[in-house]
Homo-oligomer: A and B are copies of this chain.
Amino acid sequence: MKASFIIIGTELTRGIIQDSHGSLLSRELTHMGIYVSEIVEVPDDGSIEKVLEALMRNNDIVIITGGLGPTSDDMTRPVIAAAAGVPLVRSEDAWNHMLETLGERAYGPNSRQAMIPEGFSLIRNDNGTAPGFYGYGGSTLLISLPGPPREMHPMLYESVLPLLRDKLDLPQAERDEYTSFITAEAKLEELYEDADCSLDWGTRFQDYRISLYVSGKTKADRDKAIARLRDKLGEYRIVEGDADALTMAIDALRRSDSTVSVAESCTGGLLSMLLTERAGASEYMLGSVTSYAASVKADVLGVPESVIREKGTVSPECAIAMAEGVRRLTGSDYSVSVTGVAGPDEDEGKSVGTVHLGFSSARRESVAISVHFSSWGRASIRRKAAVTALLLLSAYVSGEDIGRIASGWKEI
């Protein structure tokens, strides 16, 4: 079984953005045992026609992304219809979907997006106006998907891969998704091969997290493998579904109708930036102090001089004093602090990767958590420290014993 991909976008052939669809499609189809023979990136200039013709001669499957927009230079539809030797017809399902999402704008140039090659089937798009479609051109299965990743990704996982499994007679849709935190992708691959190498695994690196897909065998087998992986990493490092640490923290705050404030040192404002990233942040986030200089820790946050002198600014005691200080200043229900050594040089005799987090609340006792990140690089340590703070904040606000959780963490 051979497959090729055509990735359409003038921004690709002008070098403005770098393609990632080819790589994602390759990984997923290779996992299914399909041989990927060619990935072709072309501009929006109609040259897809010649390329498609050539690929159809040598492939069982051709997947085309992009070129489904409403403007006149998006010509994927007519080219695929011509390659399949059928006319373009209006799909009533696609038209109704467009009416729902676009209202009267559906009657303009967008109406073109409801046209698909006759005899082809629709692929539902829950995140945009242009549906995908698939059908045969000769003996080649042609699959057309929109270009924007937030539309294309769910369509790939929810429709295209199940469709291909079906054509290949592979067991269907038995795929679980998890999210993994503060674990390097290479480490994760090593660990899950240990956990059960007869299962299909896949990972997708995203900002601040890694998506993890497990498929094959029975649900019980998959659960057992995930449980083994969890054992090796510890709690809160593998979470079911498509999760992210920021949402987990926000949800915990909203559930308990609480506010939070932040005191940062090595993360320098990153944690605060994340907590104010989404619209409506003022409902739970009051503010933060970045105390980069020791004097600011003392003068603004009120960290006792004795703590700084005897324990140093990179210490559990300083983390707690910072958290309590910012909560006192802002009057928030909860607070979280981060102090550590992001590098490149060690500090106060503490090695690069040492991070202490403080958690404080009027409702609970203050807790300090100490971790050591093995990852190399200042930016990576800052990112991991911020994610750890969000994960543990969500647990702390939910009333969990975060000291126990963090003490079970391995391989970070």
Contacts from A to B (Cβ < 8 Å): 12-20, 22-30, 36-43, 45, 47, 50-51, 54, 58, 185, 203-205, 259, 261-262, 264, 267-277, 279, 281-282, 285-293, 295-296, 299-300, 329-331, 343-345, 378-379
Contacts of A296 in B (CB 8 A): 261, 286-287, 329-330
Task: Assess whether A26 is in contact with B14, with CB atoms less than 8 Å apart.
Answer: yes
Partner of A15, one of B24, B279, B288: B24
A-B contact pairs, 9 of them (CB 8 A): A12-B22, A13-B36, A14-B26, A37-B47, A39-B41, A39-B42, A40-B40, A269-B288, A289-B290
Contacts of A274 in B (CB 8 A): 269
Copies in the complex: 2
Chain A contact surface mostly: mixed
New contact pairs (15) apart from A40-B41, A268-B275, CB-CB < 8 Å: A12-B39, A13-B26, A13-B38, A15-B27, A15-B204, A38-B47, A262-B290, A268-B272, A269-B269, A272-B273, A285-B292, A286-B296, A287-B289, A288-B289, A288-B292
Q: Residue of B at shortest CB range from A345? A: B279
CB distance from A41 to the nearest CB of B (A): 4
- How distant is the Cα of A274 from the Cα of B300 in the complex, in angstroms? 21
Residue in A43, A203, A292, A379 with the greatest tally of chain B CB atoms within 10 Å? A292
Task: Assess whether A286 is in contact with B293, with CB atoms less than 8 Å apart.
Answer: yes
Task: Assess whether A272 is in contact with B293, with CB atoms less than 8 Å apart.
Answer: no
- How distant is the Cα of A261 from the Cα of B58 in the complex, in angstroms? 61
Contacts of A269 in B (CB 8 A): 262, 264, 269-276, 288, 290
